[in-house]
Structures are given as structure tokens and as C-alpha cells.
């Protein structure tokens, strides 16, 4: 009991450091939760940028038509980096790339292909794509009647001038909420990982101090029993944190809409907790320097969140970055959350994919534990050798 009180005292004394990850997750989750509104059935206008290498009546007609339907945005630049930045910072939702031979194809009576870039959460992409196709098909239809391109554009604009309100079905609202819920659960990979790792770091740094280690050697408890009790205490601390984070998700995100997806998200969180605990136990039991532990926290935990798709969607990252991210448990946690959010029917194919990702998380946990066991055993032999020598 004295040991548990000591651990609790150490955690309380360092609560300011331990609460950093918690506070960041709470604040960001709160703002994410404000975006989840399944009662809103009106489709909001999309912010569209139209990039064209030529100016012609056809391009002007398409631009004018889209301006009536959506919000047309002018980008500061048209380089790929500037487009990616505009999409990432939500200055624009959809970017339409008009090909160089666009006007020539329309005049020849052919349907041109327009490349579309969009944010992963751009729910109006389908509507915008349909509007572009409708305008072009209408222009081509009037051209077939023998009208000139200019006359066909004018006729198409008149024919498509009828407007109305688009209402989203309840299923569409639920779909949108599932996607946003998955993105919110991804945040746990930062807050939970950082809080658990910091707790392990505080306790193991205290008990691994040279003076404390020597004193514990003369304690009635064997070293293995002492380490086991410390580990159990830290696992309890990790579980308490996990339940707290999940309660936050229930109150702010899931609320009354319990479904199969919610249970899978919770299960995925506990699967992710396994490598989090084993990694934290491995690193903090071997590293004796607080600066080194802080560096590992900043580099591995924060870095894995960036490359793993937490802060920046994996769709915006190069393939090489995604391949590197696959060597972190965060990547597979995010992959499972994305899988859960995008799945409409939880069939055998979903189950196989989910448990494959879950197996990878368990494998990470086993590797970290094995690594700790081997290095810890080697360190124990060295300590016994030096003790016998002295």
C-alpha cells in the first residue's frame, strides 16, 4: 500500500506535465464536436476554385454557372503546394482543373474530363461533380441541335436557371457524423499516448534514480516483485486515463447515438492502448535521463501523429510518408478508425480488415515488450557483474 501511495504522490506532484495531453485533447475534441450536427439537413455551399489554362466563352459559362450554385474562390497561386495548402487550411473545399483542350473538346461535341481535387471531408464533392456534368451535357445537347457554342451556352444557362433547396437525408447526416467521429477518435493517439508515456516517465525516472535503486536492493521485496507492482500501478493509471478519455468521447461526440461503430471505436482504443503501454514501459525503464524522455516524447509521439494521419490526413501526405508511418502503432490505430467510419455494412470483409489492423497493434505491443525483456535482462546481468566486482 505504501508503494501505491508513493506512486500516487509522484503523479500528483507532476500533474501539470501529465495534464498537457489531456487538456489539448479536451479542447480540440470540443471544437470537433461542434461540427457534428446530424439535425442539419441543408447542404452548405462548397468553396470552389476553378483553375483553367485558357479563357473562352465555355470556361466563362461554366464559371458563371458554378458561381450561382456554389461559392467561387480565387487562389493566391496555382502551384500544387499552394493548392494543397488551400485545401488543408480549408480556404477551399474543391479545386477543378480544366484541361488545356477543354474548349476544343466541347466545340467538337465531346465530353471533356475535368480533374477534381477535394478535402477528405468535402461532402459536397458529389453534388459539384454532378453540377459540372449537367452543365456540360446540356451545352452539348443544344449543340447537337445545330446551335453555335455561344448560343448553346446561353440556352443551357437559361434551362438550368431553375433553383431549389437540396435537403440531405437522415442517412447522409449519420454518414457525416460517423466520419467526424472517426476523426475525433484519432486525436486519442496524441492525448492518450502522451499522457500515458508521461506518467510512465515520471514514475520510472523516480524509481530508477541511483540512490533509490540502491535503497530498493535492501528492501524486503524482491526486485522483480517491486517492478511488477510498479507496472501494475501504471497500467491502472493508463486504464483510468483511457476510461476518462472514452467518457469524454461519449459526452461530446457519441452522446445518444450508440451504434456498432461506437463499440468498434472503443475496442480499437483498447487495442491501441496495448502498444502505448508496452512502448512507454520499454522506453522509460531503459532511459534514465528526463531530457531524453522528453525528446522521445516530442519526436516519436508527436511525429507519429503527423505522419500517421492524425493532424494531417493521410490523403495529403506522399506515399513514402505513409510507408514510413506504417512502422508506428499510431498509423494502424488511425487506419482502423477510418475503416470504421467509412464502412456502411459491417460484414466479414470489414471484420477481417479490422482485426488485421488490430493484430498489427498487438504485434507492436509484443515487439516492445520483447525488446524491454531482452535489454532489461542484459542490464540486470551487467549490474550483477559490477556488484560482484565491487
* Ranges 109-113, 168-172, 341-345, 371-375, most confident: 109-113
Please check the confidence at residue 274 and state whether its pLDDT lies above 90.
yes
Four-CA torsion 380, 382, 385, 390, nearest 10 degrees:
-100
| 322 against 385, higher pLDDT | 322
Residue range 100-115: average pLDDT?
86
Percent of the chain with pLDDT over 90: 13
Going by pLDDT thresholds of 50, 70 and 90, the confidence category of residue 5 is confident
| Residue 326 in this model has a pLDDT that exceeds 80 | yes
The residue ranking higher by pLDDT, 289 or 4, is: 289
As a whole number, mean pLDDT of residues 184-202 equals: 86
Residue 380 has pLDDT above 70, yes or no: no
| DSSP string covering 257-307 | ---HHHHHHHHHHHHHHHHHHHHHHHHHHH---HHHHHHHIIIIIIHHHHH
Hey, which bits of the chain come out as E strands?
47-52, 71-72, 94-98, 115-118
Is a pLDDT exceeding 50 seen at residue 388? no
Angstrom distance (rounded) from CA 3 to CA 203: 11
Report the first-to-last Cα separation within the chain, whole angstroms: 34
**Which set of grid coordinates corresponds to residue 255?**
452522446
Residue 386 has a pLDDT of 45
Least confident stretch, 110-124, 274-288, 343-357: 110-124
Q: Is the pTM of this model over 0.75?
A: no
Q: Which among 187-196, 202-211, 347-356 has the top mean pLDDT?
A: 347-356
Kindly report, residue by residue over 352-370, the tens digit of the pLDDT.
Answer: 999 999 999 999 999 998 9
Q: Are 242 and 267 in contact, with CB atoms under 8 Å apart? A: no
Over its C-alpha atoms, the chain yields an Rg (Å, rounded) of 28
**What are the sequence ranges of the domains in the chain?**
2-36+173-389, 47-166
In this predicted structure, the answer to whether residue 14 has a pLDDT above a threshold of 90 is no
Can you tell me the mean pLDDT for 9-15?
A: 76
pLDDT band at 385 (very low <50, low <70, confident <90, very high): very low
Averaged pLDDT, 207-219: 59
| pLDDT classification of 384: cutoffs 50, 70, 90 | very low
Confidence bin at 38 (pLDDT 50/70/90): very low
CA 43/CA 159 separation, integer angstroms: 22
Residue 24: alpha-carbon gap to chain centroid: 15
Kindly tell me the sign of the dihedral angle through the C-alpha atoms of 93, 97, 103, 109: negative
State the average pLDDT for the chain.
79
- Model pLDDT, residue 218: 55
Q: Is the dihedral of CA 125, 131, 137, 140 positive or negative?
A: negative
Higher-confidence residue of 75 and 209: namely 75
pLDDT band at 351 (very low <50, low <70, confident <90, very high): very high
CATH number of the 47-166 domain: 3.40.1710.10
Amino acid at each position: 500500500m505504501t508503494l501505491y501511495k508513493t506512486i500516487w504522490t509522484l503523479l500528483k506532484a507532476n500533474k501539470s506535465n501529465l495534464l498537457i495531453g489531456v487538456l489539448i485533447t479536451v479542447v480540440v475534441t470540443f471544437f470537433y464536436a461542434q461540427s457534428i450536427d446530424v439535425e442539419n439537413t441543408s447542404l452548405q455551399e462548397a468553396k470552389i476554385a476553378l483553375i483553367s489554362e485558357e479563357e473562352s466563352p465555355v470556361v466563362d459559362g461554366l464559371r458563371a454557372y458554378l458561381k450561382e450554385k456554389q461559392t467561387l474562390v480565387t487562389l493566391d497561386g496555382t502551384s500544387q503546394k499552394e493548392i494543397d495548402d488551400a485545401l488543408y487550411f480549408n480556404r477551399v473545399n474543391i479545386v477543378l482543373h480544366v484541361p488545356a483542350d477543354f474548349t476544343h473538346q466541347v466545340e467538337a461535341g465531346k465530353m471533356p474530363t475535368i480533374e477534381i481535387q477535394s478535402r477528405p471531408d468535402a461532402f459536397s464533392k458529389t453534388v459539384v461533380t454532378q453540377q459540372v456534368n449537367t452543365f456540360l451535357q446540356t451545352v452539348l445537347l443544344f449543340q447537337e441541335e445545330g446551335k453555335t457554342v455561344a448560343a448553346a451556352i446561353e440556352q443551357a444557362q437559361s434551362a438550368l436557371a431553375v433553383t431549389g433547396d437540396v435537403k440531405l437525408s437522415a442517412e447522409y447526416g449519420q454518414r457525416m457524423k460517423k466520419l467526424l467521429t472517426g476523426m475525433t477518435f484519432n486525436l486519442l493517439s496524441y492525448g492518450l499516448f502522451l499522457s500515458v508515456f508521461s506518467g510512465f516517465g515520471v514514475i520510472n525516472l523516480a524509481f530508477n534514480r541511483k540512490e533509490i535503486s540502491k535503497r530498493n536492493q535492501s528492501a524486503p521485496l524482491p526486485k522483480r516483485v517491486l517492478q511488477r507492482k510498479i507496472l501494475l500501478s501504471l497500467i491502472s493509471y493508463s486504464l483510468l486515463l483511457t476510461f476518462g478519455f472514452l467518457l469524454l468521447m461519449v459526452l461530446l461526440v457519441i452522446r445518444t447515438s450508440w451504434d456498432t461503430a461506437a463499440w468498434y471505436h472503443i475496442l480499437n482504443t483498447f487495442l491501441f492502448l496495448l502498444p502505448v503501454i508496452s512502448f512507454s514501459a520499454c522506453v522509460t525503464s531503459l532511459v534514465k535521463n528526463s531530457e531524453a524522455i522528453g525528446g522521445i516524447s516530442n519526436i516519436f509521439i508527436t511525429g507519429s501523429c503527423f505522419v500517421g494521419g492524425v493532424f494531417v490526413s493521410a490523403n495529403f501526405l506522399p506515399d513514402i510518408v505513409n510507408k514510413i508511418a506504417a512502422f508506428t502503432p499510431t498509423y494502424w490505430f488511425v487506419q482502423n478508425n477510418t475503416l470504421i467510419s467509412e464502412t456502411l455494412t459491417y460484414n466479414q470483409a470489414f471484420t477481417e480488415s479490422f482485426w488485421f489492423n488490430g493484430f498489427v497493434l498487438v504485434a507492436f505491443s509484443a515487439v516492445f515488450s520483447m525488446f524491454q525483456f531482452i535489454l532489461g535482462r542484459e542490464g540486470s546481468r551487467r549490474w550483477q557483474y559490477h556488484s560482484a566486482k565491487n
